[in-house]
Amino acid sequence: MAKNLIVALNRQYGSGGKEVGVKLAGKLGLKVYDEEILDAASKKSGIRKEYFEKVDEKPTDSFLYALAMNNLSVNSAVNPFDNTLSSDNLFNVQAEAIKDIAKQESCIIIGRCADYILREEPGCMSVFILADMNKRIKRISKLYHLSEKEASKRINSFDKKRDSYYGYYAGKEWASCASYHLSIDTGVLGIDKAVELISYYIDLRK
Q: How many domains does the chain have?
A: 1
Minimal CA–CA distance to 163: which of 63, 45, 57, 64? 57
CA–CA separation, 21 vs 5, rounded Å? 14
CA–CA separation, 86 vs 102, rounded Å? 24
Residue span of the structural domain in which 40 resides: 6-205
Q: Answer whether residue 1 is part of any domain.
A: no
Percent of the chain with pLDDT over 70: 87
Residues 42-57: tens digit of each pLDDT:
999 999 999 888 888 8
The pLDDT assigned to 72 comes to 42
> What is the pTM for the complete model shown?
0.86
Q: Dihedral angle at the C-alpha atoms of 128, 122, 37, 28, nearest 10 degrees?
A: 70
The pLDDT assigned to 61 comes to 53
**Alpha carbon 59 to chain centroid distance?**
13
CATH number, domain of 189, equals: 3.40.50.300
Q: Give me Rg for the CA atoms of the chain.
A: 17
